[in-house]
Structure 1
Amino acid sequence: MVQTEILLFLSLFSYGLCSEGDRSPYYQNCLRECVKNRCTSGVVKKATKDIPPIPALWSCGDNCRYYCMFDTVDRFEERGFQIPKFHGKWPIRRVFGIQEPASVFGSILNLVANAYMYSKMRSKFPVRTMPVVLFWHAFAWICMNAWVWSIVFHTRDVYFTEFMDYAGALSMVMSLFVAAVIRAFYRAKKLVTVIILATLLYYAEHVRYLYSGRIDYDYNMHVNLFFGVVGSLIWILWAGREWAAGRRHAWWLLAFTALSAAALTLEVFDFPPKYYAWDAHALWHLSTAPLPLLFYRFVIDDLNYIRTSSSIEKSNIKLP
């Protein structure tokens, strides 16, 4: 969803980075022998229970890497060593050819939560209700698009799906930043316009840079961190002021921000996957799924407040 902090720490390592597991001589020998004996032009010579042919998602070389990864994990565990990472990632068991099924499940829950709350918002506030409503409709679609690409990326990690996942995640962080600016400074229309245009231009340039070659993970993290932290500070300060003024619907926003920060700790405390499925990243996705219920509840209540306030202001206008 639109989580501020929870999208700050995306995966910092690509599948191509070296880790203890893929550096081990056992893994390297296993991979070399597997490719030599079982692969010809990317096609499995002989299907086995260890390397099932799944040509739609996985080449023979991919299947060899998967087989040798878990063969190496078995050797590490036999010797009492900790489960190693491979190419920057923990070993995860595939399910029906899906690379990270638990993360896919968590992403689906986030998508469903966003879609459900968007349907509630749309039923109460059609696009033409008020000018600001159009922004929230676009905002919801940005979030749903990002979660679709998260599902695709965790189903099969390749360069393009990784790029789309990163671009989608950043679009949510920046959209939440823009939303904070619009709501907190709506009276300063020129300032808001300048900030929105500058943010859109920067996003376009950042995405172009990400796709121009190897993804710069540190730079991408810092961009997410900047917009996420600044957006969160604006939301907290504004929501605190609204709460003090008696507008109790700001509580939903404060709760959303606090729980987002709590969910982020799962990304900080990395650990080997439970049952070769639930790593910290998958649990993070699972923990963020309820958060759209809080955020969109705030949006709906805030739009009700804006509509009511506008009606009162119009009724108090004295005709000449």
Structure 2
Amino acid sequence: MLRIAYFFAIITCVLCSDGDRSPFYNKCLKSCVKSNCTADDSFLPSAANNQDVWSKMLLWSCQDECRYSCMWKTVQGFHERGFAIPKFHGKWPFAKILGIQEPASAFASVLNLAVHVFMYNEIARLFPTRSMPVVLFWHVFAGICINAWFWSTIFHTRDNYFTEFMDYVCALSMVMSLFVAAVLRVFHKRKTISGVALLSTLVYFVEHALYLYTGQIDYDYNMQVNVIFGVLGSVIWLTWAIIQYIAGRRYVRRLILFIILSGVALTLELLDFPPKFGWDAHALWHLTTAPLPFFFYRFVIDDLNYLKTSVPSAKSYVKSN
């Protein structure tokens, strides 16, 4: 999926969850760090051999391991007292596999990545970049989506400040790209509008990314930006698609279906339930979005075929619909 409304995935509170606020967790963490870690967050010789090779490869530090161990001890304590499963630093507890911090979400991100790569290859095979000027945009668009899902995989594999930053920024790049795509397609005859939209969105994206990287990520502000561009892009696409469908261009039904199913998939993210068999609402959201690019890219291919028959030459842009 293109994450039209990725803002529903933003964690608005990172350091204020029931699990990491509990006295039991903090006492456990303090004791673990004292017994196993050095001042520079390395392992003491007596504790170094307890870490598995996968966690070493993924650079789990001594304090990371202590947080993980105390997290599960706290979950057990909550369970024994009949309390609900708590979150830790804004996230549900997950059992790592091969050092992967959130295995289900990482797996689902890989599926999304694979689908985008597959569909990009289809577009590249059918439409070389020089076939029409608009084709180059879709090549770039697919590259942005592939990059975003790559970083989503990395982030869910190993969560730290840099991978979190890259995940959020690259996800926003998809939202903004879908907005730009809608503007370029709908207003293709008005080059000024298209050019201003493309340039201003690019400048704002760079400014936003630099702002997020200056310090701790501003989750509320990032969410608001995603909301604005996500809603605008969806409204433009859906309005245009309905008009085109009424006019007889039935192939846009795939675009309409993509937008509707994307909205339905987001309900999983809104539920925000704790993991069941390793899958929480966020991971299931990623899983359900994996097939959706087939609809969108199929629409893109059909639309390019339509445009190919509507332009007098390869150097023309798009003639009137």
TM superposition score category, shorter chain reference = over 0.9
Equivalent residue for 1:34? 32
After TM superposition, give the deviation of residue 8 of structure 1 in Å. Answer: 2.9
Distance 1:171 1:61 in 2: 33
Distance 1:194 1:34 in 2: 55
Equivalent residue for 1:3? 3
> Counterparts in 2 of 1:160-309, with a 5 A limit?
160-275=162-277, 277-309=278-310
After TM superposition, give the deviation of residue 191 of structure 1 in Å. Answer: 1.1
Equivalent residue for 2:151? 149
After TM superposition, give the deviation of residue 50 of structure 1 in Å. Answer: 7.5
Distance 1:55 1:104 in 2: 18
Cα 1:208–1:48 change in 2 (3 A) is closer
- Do the aligned residues in 1 keep the contact of 2:112 with 2:149 (CA within 8 Å)? yes
Name the amino acid aligned to 2:294: L
Deviation track 1:197-245 (CA, whole Å, cap 9, x = no partner) reads: 1111111100010101111000000100000100100001100011001
After TM superposition, give the deviation of residue 13 of structure 1 in Å. Answer: 3.7
Equivalent residue for 1:46? 46
**Sequence identity of aligned pairs in percent?**
59
**TM-score (normalised: structure 2):** 0.93
- Do the aligned residues in 1 keep the contact of 2:188 with 2:194 (CA within 8 Å)? yes
1:133 to 118, 135, 139: 135
**TM-score (normalised: structure 1):** 0.93
Equivalent residue for 2:88? 86
Distance 2:285 2:50 in 1: 30
Distance 2:52 2:78 in 1: 24
After TM superposition, give the deviation of residue 72 of structure 1 in Å. Answer: 0.7
After TM superposition, give the deviation of residue 76 of structure 1 in Å. Answer: 0.6
SS in 2 for 1:31: helix
Name the amino acid aligned to 2:111: L
Cα 1:51–1:21 change in 2 (3 A) is farther
SS in 2 for 1:225: helix
After TM superposition, give the deviation of residue 284 of structure 1 in Å. Answer: 0.7
SS in 1 for 2:63: helix
- Do the aligned residues in 1 keep the contact of 2:251 with 2:302 (CA within 8 Å)? yes
| Structure 2 unpaired stretches of 5+ | 316-321
- Do the aligned residues in 2 keep the contact of 1:150 with 1:165 (CA within 8 Å)? yes
- Do the aligned residues in 2 keep the contact of 1:21 with 1:27 (CA within 8 Å)? yes
Equivalent residue for 1:124? 126
- Do the aligned residues in 2 keep the contact of 1:12 with 1:221 (CA within 8 Å)? no
- Do the aligned residues in 1 keep the contact of 2:86 with 2:92 (CA within 8 Å)? yes
Equivalent residue for 2:11? 12
- Do the aligned residues in 1 keep the contact of 2:12 with 2:220 (CA within 8 Å)? no
The number of residue pairs the alignment matches comes to 311
Deviation track 1:239-267 (CA, whole Å, cap 9, x = no partner) reads: 00110011011000000000000011111
Cα 1:202–1:48 change in 2 (3 A) is closer
Equivalent residue for 2:319? none
> Counterparts in 2 of 1:107-118, with a 5 A limit?
107-118=109-120
Distance 2:29 2:237 in 1: 50
Distance 2:135 2:179 in 1: 17
- Do the aligned residues in 2 keep the contact of 1:2 with 1:173 (CA within 8 Å)? yes
- Do the aligned residues in 2 keep the contact of 1:106 with 1:282 (CA within 8 Å)? yes
After TM superposition, give the deviation of residue 151 of structure 1 in Å. Answer: 0.6
After TM superposition, give the deviation of residue 48 of structure 1 in Å. Answer: 8.9
Deviation track 1:53-96 (CA, whole Å, cap 9, x = no partner) reads: 73332011110110000001001101111000111110011000
Name the amino acid aligned to 2:288: S
Distance 1:97 1:156 in 2: 8
| Structure 1 unpaired stretches of 5+ | 315-320
Distance 2:20 2:203 in 1: 40
